[in-house]
């Protein structure tokens, strides 16, 4: 299963991706997690990404694309993967499409987690209390939502046009959302 999980910051992508990846026995590739790890260990990649992340802006496409294609070239991703937080721009989606086409391993599905805006803000505020992420302060949260709307939301059209997009209402408990997502994946046409 090769899956992209799409949704605004706070939609629950990380939580759901982690559960599904464990269930399917495939890697969970989360660009935000990889970036935060690189920031914490002060690698050159981390140092480059940190300023953007702290401002709530997207890291430049070429940096992210290189990092993801390297990760997807590792052996474990040959069985499939769940991408969480990537792609976030149309150029990233195009680069991913070409990378996968060259390997004859196209995406199976793109799952969009849909959450109303006021619920997103409430979740992000709650996460700020819990995780103390430097990019979860109110101004940066606002900026991340703006970035999402302007740069990531166009992926909905990109993937709809390719017949890959499926929506999941991502409200209710974590278990509810997982169950809805699994049902949707079970109903997919065999590929």
Tell me which residues touch ligand AMP (CB under 6 A).
Answer: 9, 31-32, 35, 52-53, 56-59, 64, 85-86, 88, 92, 135, 144
Three-state helix/strand/coil letters over 71-121? HHCCHHHHHCEEEECCCCCHHHHHHHHHHHHHCCCCCCEEEEEECCHHHHH
Is-contact 54 144, C-beta < 8 A? Answer: no
Nearer residue to ligand AMP within complex by CB, 86 or 159: 86
Is-contact 115 12, C-beta < 8 A? Answer: yes
Closest contact distance (angstroms) between CB of 6 and ligand AMP is: 11
Nearer residue to ligand AMP within complex by CB, 157 or 183: 157
Degrees, nearest 5: CA angle 179-16-40 = 170
Closest contact distance (angstroms) between CB of 189 and ligand AMP is: 28
Q: Hey, which residues does 169 pair with through a beta bridge? A: 114
Nearer residue to ligand AMP within complex by CB, 37 or 162: 37
Catalytic residues: 13, 88, 127, 133, 144
Nearer residue to ligand AMP within complex by CB, 119 or 179: 119
Closest contact distance (angstroms) between CB of 38 and ligand AMP is: 10
Closest contact distance (angstroms) between CB of 94 and ligand AMP is: 13
20: CB partners within 8 A, 6+ apart: 3, 5, 28, 82, 178, 181, 182, 185
- Structural tokens at position 129: 């209390």
């Amino acid at each position: 299963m090769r899956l992209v999980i799409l949704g605004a910051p706070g939609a629950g992508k990380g939580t759901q991706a982690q559960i599904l990846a464990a269930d399917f026995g495939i890697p969970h590739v989360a660009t935000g997690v990889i970036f935060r790890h690189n920031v914490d260990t002060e690698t050159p990649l981390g140092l480059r990404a940190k300023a953007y992340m702290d401002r709530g802006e997207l890291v430049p496409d070429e940096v992210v694309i290189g990092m993801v294609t390297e990760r997807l070239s590792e052996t474990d991703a040959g069985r499939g993967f769940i991408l969480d937080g990537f792609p976030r721009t149309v150029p990233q989606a195009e680069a991913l499409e070409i990378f996968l086409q060259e390997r004859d391993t196209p995406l199976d599905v793109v799952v969009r987690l849909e959450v109303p805006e006021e619920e997103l803000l409430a979740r992000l505020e709650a996460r700020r209390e819990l995780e103390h992420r430097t990019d979860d302060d109110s101004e940066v949260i606002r900026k991340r939502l703006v970035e999402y709307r302007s740069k990531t939301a166009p992926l909905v059209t990109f993937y709809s046009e390719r017949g890959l997009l499926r929506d999941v209402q991502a409200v209710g408990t974590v278990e509810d959302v997982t169950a809805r997502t699994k049902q949707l994946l079970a109903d997919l046409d065999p590929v």
